[in-house]
Amino acid sequence: MFWAMATNNKSSPHESELPAAICRCLHEMGHRAAVVQDGEPAGLEADVLVLMVTLGDFPFYRRQLKRRSSGKPSTVLWQTDPLPPHDLSPEAESLGLKAVRWREIFKLHQPASPKWKKYLTGYRFRMWGYKWLAAGHYRAFCKKMKPLHQEDFPWQDISGVMENWRDILIGRKEGWLDHVVASTNQRRTFLVSRGIPAHFVPVGADESMGTNLGVSRDIPLGFLGSTDRKNRRTRTLEKLRKKLRERNLPDIVAQTACYGDQRCRWLNRVRILINLYNYPWDAAWIRFLMAARCGTLVVSEATDDEHPLIPGVHYVSAPWEQMCDVVAELLKHPEQIDSVTAAAEKLVREKLTLLNSVKELHKIVGSQGQ
């Protein structure tokens, strides 16, 4: 069986790292597998085409798959990008979907690269029009969200979540999306509550995510991720840093655009990795796996999402307002850190592995083509 792991840009380390690791697992299982970029013919010639992260990254494949009534690959979406909360009200959902439809009216779901094409097709103007016309619906959507999650969400933060959901609805309606797999239980719960059959397969850890080098940990507190864009995560990070300064505790060292060996070496220097969510209902588990592989403790905001990583066993959970107290106590008692990191490292090396995740994915797709 030939599997094609599709990515938006296979020349980007960020985009291709996980698909390449999945291909190695498939090779180990006796399959042929390759990383493909959106629109490459090899993806359409495969027995199984897996679209990673979210459907919005694949405008070429979406159009090509829609036109094929037969002879297309079994198409799987492994959704690792956020979706709305499952308790979203019908009124809020309707507002969000109305906002997203402006994207389709302005044809922003069509390919926008190469760069010169943005000017020839008026892409920037169309993007401006989408934002201007959709903003009212998105703002009303965010007002409906606030009572549920007790937070203000700028509409720019929430637009991608609704775009992800709208793309899945379109793919199912058009009939070319065969299987939907969610990387968190929260995403699966949302999809099932909306009548979309979905499976829960967490992304497991792989050697490409790092290893424990046994070096000195000279960075007490670290944060892995971009701090350029102002969203909930970066705003919360700044508030937490202020609290740490007031308590004369170590500052948080942020690392961005860090992949492969460089990320592994940096995580091995970090004692405690701070994890904050972009959305209170949506857990991003990849950082947990990377930290566990490198023997780094994660202190994270709480989530009600079920996952093999358990708070109090494999990581420490605390509201961001209480993280200063938690961090101060952990730094005084390194044996507590060692106990949790040892349990996490054992789990991601023995049970929560990417190979096991790919085996689950194989079961879902079935044995066609063998």
Pair 192, 341: CB distance under 8 Å? no
In a domain, 119, yes or no: no
Angle 22-27-28 (CA atoms, 0-180°, nearest 5)?
Answer: 95
SS (H, E, C) 1-33: CEEEEEECCCCCHHHHHHHHHHHHHHHHCCCEE
- Interval 132-144: pLDDT, tens: 999 999 999 999 8
Cis upstream peptide for 114 (omega within 30°): yes
- Interval 206-225: pLDDT, tens: 999 999 999 999 999 999 99
Q: What is the pLDDT of residue 119?
A: 65
Distance CA 95, CA 135 (A): 11
Distance CA 344, CA 161 (A): 30
| pLDDT band for position 42 (cuts 50, 70, 90) | very high
**CA–CA distance from 340 to each of 223, 317, 343, 361 (Å)?**
18, 12, 5, 29
| 251 contact partners, CB below 8 Å, separation of at least 6 | 221, 241, 244, 245
In a domain, 116, yes or no: no
SS3 assignment, position 272: strand
**Four-point Cα dihedral 349, 271, 186, 343, nearest 10:** 40
**Four-point Cα dihedral 222, 246, 283, 25, nearest 10:** 10
Q: Which residue(s) pair with 51 in the sheet? A: 6, 77
- pLDDT greater at residue 154 or residue 134: 134
Q: Which residue(s) pair with 76 in the sheet? A: 50, 179
Q: What is the pLDDT of residue 369?
A: 42
Identify residue 275 by its one-letter amino acid code: N
Q: What is the pLDDT of residue 284?
A: 86
Q: Which residues of 126-140 are buried (b: 16+ CB within 10 A; e: fewer)?
A: beeebbeebeebbeb
SS3 assignment, position 160: helix
In a domain, 308, yes or no: yes
Start-end of H helices in 7-122: 13-28, 41-45, 59-67, 90-105, 115-120
In a domain, 300, yes or no: yes
| pLDDT band for position 368 (cuts 50, 70, 90) | very low
- CATH code of 259's domain: 3.40.50.2000
Q: What is the pLDDT of residue 71?
A: 86
Q: What percent of the chain has pLDDT over 90?
A: 78
In a domain, 253, yes or no: yes
Q: What percent of the chain has pLDDT over 70?
A: 96
| pLDDT band for position 370 (cuts 50, 70, 90) | very low
Mean predicted lDDT score pLDDT of the chain: 92
Is pLDDT above 80 for 310?
Answer: yes
Q: What is the pLDDT of residue 230?
A: 83
- Section 348-365 average pLDDT: 97
Identify residue 67 by its one-letter amino acid code: R
Start-end of H helices in 277-317: 286-293
Q: What is the pLDDT of residue 116?
A: 60
Q: What is the pLDDT of residue 112?
A: 54
Q: How many domains does the chain have?
A: 1
Distance CA 313, CA 330 (A): 14
- Interval 54-78: pLDDT, tens: 999 999 999 999 998 678 999 999 9
- Section 34-61 average pLDDT: 94
Half-sphere exposure of 172 (CA within 13 A, CB side): 15
| Domain, as residue range, for 255 | 207-350
Q: What is the pLDDT of residue 110?
A: 62
In a domain, 339, yes or no: yes
In a domain, 199, yes or no: no
In a domain, 363, yes or no: no
